[in-house]
Structure formats: C-alpha cells, structure tokens
Amino acid sequence: MFSFSKKKQFFTEEEKKRIVDTVQHAERRTSGEIRVFVESRCKYVDAIDRAAEIFFGLKMEKTADRNAVLLYIAMKDHQLAIFADEGIYKRLGQEYWNNEIKLLISNFNREDNAAGICQCVTDIGEALYSNFPFDNKTDKNELPDDIVFGS
C-alpha cells in the first residue's frame, strides 16, 4: 500500500510572496543577486557545506561581479547558512556574515521565520548596494528571484 502525503509547506502563500518581493526589492539597487533555498533536512554535518553545494549547483558563481549570496535554511534540522561569492564575501568580511546569522537565529527563535528571512535579505541587499550599486546601462537580473524548495 502506498501512502501519499502532502509535502509540508513552510510558509503561507502570503509569506512566500513577501520573501520574493523582498528579494526583488533588495536587488533593484544593486548588481548583486540573492537566492533563498529552503529544505526540510540538511544532508551534511555542516550547513555551510550544503549551502556551497547548492550555490554551485544553482550556478550562482556565474554572476559577472561574483556578488551572489545564498541564504540556506534546513527547517526541521534548524540549520542555516549564508554562502556568499568571493566578490561580496571579501568586501564584507566574516564578522558581517556571522552577525547576519545571529540576527536570523534571533528571529527564528521568536518563530517569525518569514520576517527573519526578509530582514536578512534586506540587510544583504543594503550591503550589496553599498559595494555593488546598480548600473542601468550594464546590470540585469542574472538569477531568478523565487524561493527554491529542496526536499
């Protein structure tokens, strides 16, 4: 006998729309790219290793300025990571990324996951804007803005 169960939805439709809108808004002022990847479980001991696998699997390193950022979340395992390409990572330094993770964890601890993601995306967008401002002559949206859901 087969059991068909509906895949758990981590966000309401409204929350999903708010996250995508936040990504789009953050990217309007920068040549940088932001992606959000959400799955149930992290298949790796270290979430940053999983984030790296996803980052390269989504070909995020192919952006012209090497300024793409992946926000990775494994909901059931309570793991998360931010993986930034070398162009933006080097400019901001490890302390910046550590602080963003702390802020995200703080929001998750209040069980306000969508708001935490939106705040993190907004912060990253501001950092990208400061380092890679939008140039309407050369910049284009290089990566999709939708949330990527894994298994």
Segment 127-144, tens digit of pLDDT: 999 999 998 888 889 999
pLDDT per residue as tens digits for the range 24-53: 999 999 999 999 999 999 987 799 999 999
Class of domain 13-127: alpha beta
Rounded Cα distance, 89 and 77, in Å: 26
Q: Please report the pLDDT score of residue 109 as a whole number.
A: 79
CA 108 to chain centre: 15
Whole-model pTM: value is: 0.91
Q: Please report the pLDDT score of residue 6 as a whole number.
A: 45
Rounded Cα distance, 107 and 125, in Å: 18
Q: Please report the pLDDT score of residue 2 as a whole number.
A: 45
Residue 3 has pLDDT above 60, yes or no: no
Closest C-alpha among 5, 12, 9 to residue 149: 9
Query: What backbone phi and psi angles, to 5 degrees, belong to 92?
Result: -95, -30
Q: Please report the pLDDT score of residue 8 as a whole number.
A: 60
Average pLDDT over residues 71-87: 94
pLDDT per residue as tens digits for the range 88-127: 998 999 999 999 999 999 888 777 899 999 999 999 999 9
Place of tokens 């998360």: 80
